Amino acid sequence: MKDRFDVGIIGGGIGGLCLAQGLKKAGIPVQVYERDEAASSRTQGFRIHISPDGSRALYECLPQKLWDIFHLTGGDFGQGFSMLTEQLEELLSVVDRGDPADPVACHRSISRITLRNVLLSGLGGNVQFGKRFLRYEETDKGRISAHFEDGGVAEASILVAADGVNSAVRQQRLPHAEPIHTGVVAVAGKAPLTDGVLALAPHQLLDGPALIIPPQQASLFMALWKRSRASFEILRRVGVDGRAAEEGDYLILGLGARAEYLGLRGDPKAVPGGELKQILRRGVRNWHPDLRKLSEMLDESEMTANPLRSSPRVAAWPTTRITLLGDAIHSMTPYRGIGANVALRDAALLCTKLVEAAQGPKPVLEAIHEYEAAMRGYAFDAVHASLQSMEQAVLRKKGPQFRLTKTAMRVMNRLPALKRRVMAA
């Protein structure tokens, strides 16, 4: 017997919208409730790395037209990763061009703004903006009613929390799963990708992002975002939001360190952009001259500060018609660059399981249980790997041990087969 149901998604970020696209493609009624006032509310954001897993998830959920747009509007860089010293000496560099036999499952780079606009395309009335979630209630008829700040109430058979690291749904459903503050803050900004900026950027950035590993308890993430002219024309032609089509090319710098190392007190998100720029400049003041010059070129209006949090591994919980995906349940640091890809994997897996229930004979609770059991495995493994990477890059730096680690990376860099295995682990 087929199980008839509809789905309400709290949160219109990458994971929630990917799930909505997949459900709509499968003919399952779905509604997204997003707290932003409009689709154009988010005008800031950095480039995002899409892994083979994330790419496959988007392929499974998007209709063919939107997949083609996504495929054609990526960046020119993003297939490799490097680690450098603060004096720009190469420690490790890996380029992974993916499986040439599989054009879907490969590494990609895309603007976060563009990706969100692609994911919103075609959903129309399936997304309601200005809906700040307050709480949910389970009704006598087995449905879930979601209550919002504006006094509105919406019902659905299944409620999915896709409302990010501060998830109000998680706080009610799994209050013990609150993410933990790591003590590390990421101060990041953009510099327009002029010829001067490109000339100063390490050449490794042409193959993908790089992480600067200094002897201090800090690290600097660097990446280039550059899109071909053809992609601009594609975005305009298909009517994707103008800001996504006009977004310029840029260099990203992101300095990660403990708040006290950076001289931050109170709420880092309340610090003005000009002050954040000075903090980042001070953090690299004794590093390579090119890095110092690049830090001076950052646009103050694009500076952000993000206190990094990490979710604890949560034991299995009883399955209900209220489930979670992405940062709402497994928030992680950005040090492996995998958070968004795990959220996309969640969306594709949950969509697959719900489609199986809609087509019968699998009960919907069994479908959700299978999703949650699998998600807890791969997602919390990713959280742990991300936290370890942050600790190694920022916190675990004691003299002899740190020098030994750098020596090991240099040796590995000369052994291509070994470094590919280690980077893939």
29 or 361, which is more confident:
29
Residue 157 lies in a domain: yes
Residues 6+ apart with CB under 8 A from 239: 121
- Between the ranges 95-99, 130-134, 358-362, 396-400, where is the mean pLDDT highest? 130-134
Give me the CATH number covering residue 40.
3.50.50.60
Query: What was the pLDDT predicted at 106?
Result: 83
Residue 233 lies in a domain: yes
Structure token pair of residue 259: 């708040």
Rounded to whole angstroms, how far apart are CA atoms 249 and 165? 28
| pLDDT over 70 percentage in the chain | 84
As for how many domains the chain has, the answer is: 1
97 or 93, which is more confident:
93
Give strand pairing partners of 221.
211, 254
* Per-residue pLDDT tens over the stretch 368-415: 999 999 999 999 999 999 999 999 899 876 555 556 566 666 665 666
Residue 2 lies in a domain: no
* Domain assignment of residue 176, given as a range: 7-424
Helix, strand, coil percentages, rounded to 5, for the chain = 45, 20, 35
Reported as a pLDDT band with limits 50, 70 and 90, residue 226 is confident
Alpha helices in 242-363 (DSSP H): 242-246, 259-262, 273-283, 289-296, 327-330, 339-359
Confidence check: pLDDT of 418 > 70: no
Q: Which of 99, 91, 92, 96 is nearest to 80 (CA)?
A: 96
pTM greater than 0.85 (yes/no): yes
Residue 1 lies in a domain: no
